A and B are shown apart, each in its own frame.
Chain A
Amino acid sequence: MDSYDIPESTPSASSRPEDYFVGATPLQKRLESIRKQTSFIPTPPRRKIPQCSQLQEDADPQNVAFLLHKQWTLYSLTPLYKFSYSHLKEYSRLLNAFIVAEKQKGLAVEVGEDFNIKVIFSTLLGMKGTQRDPEAFLVQILSKSQLPSENREGKVLWTGWFCCIFGDSLLETVSEDFTCLPLFLANGAESNTAIIGTWFQKTFDCYFSPLAINAFNLSWMAAMWTACKVDHYVATTEFLWSVPCSPQSLDISYAIHPEDAKALWDSIHKTPGEVTQEEVDLFMDCLYSHFHRHFKIHLSATRLVRVSTSVASAHTDGKIKILCHKYLIGVLAYLTELAVFQIE
């Protein structure tokens, strides 16, 4: 009986993956998913238009107001090991000590004085896509005021927050020892981000990587954010392209009235509630051809570096500013997706 036959040139039929990995470890499962990701198109060809989520409505708008209109630098973050929401106070104390130690390192001048900072960890209630998403949390560094007469709460020196919006794909692959908050946003001096990041990396064995947004994803953002219904537009829709030429690169800015952009989108858009890859391509192509008609420049040959709309604005360097409270979760969901993709 020749049940095992050596294939001639074509592989034999018995190559079902189930044969290979019956009880695979989580690591192997992860590898499997990476294989799938890598072998197909990296991003799904269709996404939902950001909607106002129920969970977010539960949250106090005051709570998240300070997250808007600020420029955040984006990072992806691997799962935190042994992070516990019940120890936030303890973490504040430890991080405070760490920052002070780091700041004093190598400075002879700083003898015997207290660094007047205060570190606060707090959760951001309601900042999640599904109930399964772990709670988002915020880290703030405040300067303690010198004089007691002044406002007790000092100036905010640095803010950073960790969140996970619709992070199901990541959540499935890790055990309970880990807390998945793949998206990290920081505002403040980069030196502070570095110190705090280092502390997190040392304490929770995680890894921060700057999250850049490539032109492909910027186009998606442009389309999805144009598709959002905004009550009143606060900013024009603007695109920035960069032409790499020496000695200085040339930037091309392209501003459109948001209502015109919406009109263009509505003429393209077919399936309600969803955005497809074809629609995104078509949307951008329309913009390109319009520009070419007027200026005889093929924008498709340049690099898209920034997109700003009334919903949010994003830069390819990984900087984002969210303007619209209503679509906060929607914007973060897409960013979470990008962050998860980067760490997978």
Chain B
Amino acid sequence: MSPQKRVKNVKAQNRTSQDSNSFQTTLSAWKVKQGPSNSKNISKHGQNNPVGDYEHADDQAEDALQMAVGYFEKGPIKTSQNKDKTLEKHLKTVENVAWKNGLASEEIDILLNIALSGKFGNAVNTRILKCMIPATVISQDSVVKAVSWLCVDKCSGSTKVLFYRWLVAMFDFIDRKEQINLLYGFFFASLQDDALCPYVCHLLYLLTKKENVKPFRVRKLLDLQAKMGMQPHLQALLSLYKFFAPALISVSLPVRKKIYFKNSENLWKMALLAVKQRNRGPSPEPLKLMLGPANVRPLKRKWNSLSVIPVLNSSSYTKECGKKEMSLSDYLNRSGSFPLEQLKSFPQLLQNIHCLELPSQMGSVLNNSLLLHYINCVRDEPVLLRFYYWLSQTLQEECIWYKVNNYEHGKEFTNFLDTIIRAECFLQEGFYSCEAFLYKSLPLWDGLCCRSQFLQLVSWIPFSSFSEVKPLLFDHLAQLFFTSTIYFKCSVLQSLKELLQNWLLWLSMDIHMKPVTNSPLETTLGGSMNSVSKLIHYVGWLSTTAMRLESNSTFLLHFILDFYEKVCDIYINYDLPLVVLFPPGIFYSALLSLDTSILNQLCFIMHRYRKNLTAAKKNELVQKTKSEFNFSSKTYQEFNHYLTSMVGCLWTSKPFGKGIYIDPEILEKTGVTEYKNSLNVIHHPSFLSYAVSFLLQESPEERTVNMSSIQGKKWSWYLDYLFSQGLQGLKLFIRSSVHHSSVPRAEGINYNNQY
């Protein structure tokens, strides 16, 4: 084993030993090296550690490589009988590793020496040379050493040719070239070898600097050309010489372009790509392109090869175009403009916002948060229009379900959408292009692909008239909603909640900004509120139906109530004149839920509705002028109805009187005698367990619990117990909606709902 390798391993161990788990893996890998007898034991050990297994395999491969390199270093062993077999095995090892991961520069150093020293036969040398593929780079010293072997003439002509071809192919991966350039004279002398000449020419072509061009070399080249005729490789070198020193070469060279050098690296084409990729870091694109020439839209890839989003460039082209016709004032203006490349901080943006040089491609702002600020505040129509067109077209081009067989670019598309969503979150504003894109793409969406991104785009739809957007977006979304799983339903509700929030934020900002600037949407407040209320009603309809489809799933109900937590607070939180109640299907499902947290959430929402309605009522009384947004008495009636039901059930134990009305005859038919208190805070299915544990806490040794014992003082203790269990919603609800006297169970409860 070479010393370098050992050092590397120790380093690796140090690096990984920070967490104990991987330390173990490294240890196991070390054990393998000790001897093959251990290996069984270790592989068993590695079974519960897939990572370990992987490393293990990798390490084994490296181990074999070390052995192979060692073998070649020692040279062929004459005595060994199955020499060929061993040789073959080791060669295979080296080849496999080389083509898969490339070789370390030390390994290349050793093997290159072996290949050119003539220790082995020609065939072996060829095979070794062919797999001299670097993992990352080749050290310059290795090359110099290798060249020195060429002088002793130990290797055959064909090996030399192959070496030169290799050198040309790997030229870019040699870490430094100064010393190689010092060997220029040696290489130049090799031109005389007819077989080597084309490849040496190519190497010289890559190597030549201005100072290498000397009159005697020019003469030599011209001599060679006279001897061998017009060879393309000689012409190439000559044209390069002529480029560096036009005075030295008077012969006219044909201008017509040709491929001067036969593609000498084609032996390693795939390997080169792999090395480049390794050096560049993870980017699977080039290899994929190579393997799949039958790409559906190769053009697109070629046009914007690097990324979907253009690079930020100030508009230099257009500037240049008009240069001749520019007047003096233009020049003066120009000198005042601020180049984008210098824009680094927010204060800079503020200082130069009036004279910012805009990017040549507006799409590039997507990656630049400072310019996003600019886009956000500028109301310059061309700027927005350029961005709009770019984003619309890019979305359309990239969208993967528009095209068959384009799913391999799925990740790219997802990333692109993520970038857009990040920008929208950053600006707290949706892009019109995205909305237009949704119109076109939502009807074709399968509900799976890029789901999270897509639903986020929905939540960033800019505020607009709901009835206009509904047939284009929400009707399509509803189809997917009803036919998909409960999880999809929950995600949709979640994104609709965010949509509502975004709209509300936008509107509340807009209302307050109105006196200062003219908002882009000259909407009337009534129209806006109408649109929001339609959205809420729409979600109410979705929710009610979904509850039926999912048989009153608690999970779903949580998401629905989350939505209404936003809805109930619109008046106070966003200062917008709107209160919309939930539909009965949701209210009663929540009230009769078996889940305490649902009921708790319902209590909280009812409490907030009450606050909002009270505040609205108060405002109405104060400012009689703004009567346009008085809530209809119907809203209050509806709320009171719900409140009556709730109090009737939970508090006064009169469940089926005023709120939920059920004919007494039907109730009698059920045969339940004690139905009256069966839905109060003690007997309600979701509270029963609390009541039991409350009583057990009071008297732990009791075998039977007597629910009806919770009365009077105990009733208040029980409530305190419930509140202490985290039922804050219930607490708020009872504190605000139930006014109870010292005798709580008695009739002295007065819920002040008389508006």
Chain A residues within 8 Å of B, Cβ to Cβ = 1-7, 9, 11-12, 14-15, 17, 19-28, 30-31, 34-35, 38-39, 78-79, 81-82, 84, 86-87, 90-91, 94, 108-114, 116, 146, 174-175, 177-178, 190-191, 193-194, 197-198, 201-210, 342-343
Contact = CB atoms under 8 A, between A and B. Distances in A.
Contact of B386 (A15, A81, A343): A81
Contacts of A204: 318
A20 B527 contact: yes
Contacts of B534: 7, 11, 15
Contacts of B360: 202-203, 205
30 contacts: A2-B630, A2-B631, A3-B526, A4-B628, A6-B635, A15-B465, A19-B465, A20-B521, A20-B527, A24-B521, A25-B381, A28-B520, A30-B432, A35-B439, A35-B468, A38-B440, A79-B389, A82-B318, A91-B321, A94-B317, A108-B205, A111-B239, A112-B243, A113-B257, A116-B255, A146-B255, A190-B302, A201-B361, A207-B393, A209-B396
A15 B521 contact: no
A30 B521 contact: no
Give the top 10 A-B pairs by smallest Cβ distance, nearest first. Answer: A112-B243, A19-B527, A78-B389, A22-B522, A207-B393, A203-B317, A20-B465, A23-B522, A177-B382, A38-B439
B580 interface: yes
A82 B396 CA distance: 24
B486 interface: no
A174 to B, nearest CB: 7
B530 A15 contact: yes
A7 B535 CA distance: 11
Contacts of B755: none
- Chain B, interface residues (CB within 8 Å), range: 35 or more
Given A12-B530, A111-B243, A112-B243, 13 more contacts: A2-B631, A15-B534, A19-B465, A27-B385, A28-B521, A30-B436, A78-B393, A87-B322, A90-B324, A111-B240, A191-B302, A206-B389, A207-B390
B230 to A, nearest CB: 16
Contacts of B518: 23
Contacts of A19: 465, 523-524, 526-527, 530
A143 B69 CA distance: 55
B530 A14 contact: yes
A204 B325 CA distance: 18
Contacts of B715: none
B333 interface: no
B526 A208 contact: no
A91 B410 CA distance: 37
B627 interface: yes
Interface in B532-552: 533-534, 537, 541
B158 interface: no
A109 B236 contact: yes
B439 A146 contact: no
A71 B626 CA distance: 68
A311 B256 CA distance: 41
B385 A175 contact: yes
Nearest to B471: A39
A254 B403 CA distance: 27
B531 A20 contact: yes
Contacts of B530: 4, 7, 11-12, 14-15, 19
Interface string B203-231: 00110000000000000000000000000
Contacts of A3: 526, 627-628, 630
A174 B385 contact: yes
A107 B396 CA distance: 34
B467 interface: yes
Interface string B312-347: 010001101110110000000000000000000000
Contact of B239 (A1, A15, A112): A112
A312 B466 CA distance: 45
A35 B260 CA distance: 58
Residue among B382, B388, B521, B629 having the largest count of chain A Cβ atoms under 10 Å: B382
B259 A109 contact: yes
B534 to A, nearest CB: 6
B705 to A, nearest CB: 46
Contacts of A94: 317, 320-321
Nearest to B534: A11
B132 interface: no
B381 A175 contact: yes
Contacts of A82: 318
B303 interface: yes
Contacts of A194: 299, 302-303
A267 to B, nearest CB: 36
B287 to A, nearest CB: 18
Interface in B167-217: 205-206
B505 interface: no
A89 to B, nearest CB: 10
B634 interface: yes
B423 interface: no
Contact of A28 (B240, B361, B432, B627): B432
Nearest to B633: A2
B465 A9 contact: no
Interface in B384-410: 384-386, 388-390, 392-394, 396-397
A150 to B, nearest CB: 13
B717 to A, nearest CB: 42
A210 B382 contact: no
Contact of B382 (A28, A81, A111): A81
Interface in B706-737: none
Nearest to A12: B530
Contacts of A12: 530
A35 B206 CA distance: 59
Contact of A202 (B236, B361, B392): B361
B261 interface: yes
Given A34-B436, A35-B468, A203-B360, A197 B303 contact: yes
B303 A198 contact: yes
A20 B520 CA distance: 11
A142 B569 CA distance: 69
B361 to A, nearest CB: 5
A37 to B, nearest CB: 9
Contact of A14 (B257, B436, B527): B527
Nearest to B524: A19
Nearest to B172: A108
A84 B631 CA distance: 57
Interface string B90-106: 00000000000000000
Interface string B436-470: 10011000000000000000000000001101110
A228 B524 CA distance: 52
A187 B260 CA distance: 29
Contacts of B467: 11, 15
B529 interface: yes
Contact of B381 (A22, A26, A208): A26
B435 interface: yes
B613 interface: no
A240 B235 CA distance: 51
B33 interface: no
A27 B389 CA distance: 10
Interface in B341-389: 360-362, 379, 381-382, 384-386, 388-389
A17 B535 CA distance: 16
Contacts of B541: 9
B260 to A, nearest CB: 5
B422 interface: no
B294 to A, nearest CB: 13
Nearest to A199: B317
Interface in B588-630: 627-630
B609 to A, nearest CB: 13
A45 to B, nearest CB: 19
B720 to A, nearest CB: 38
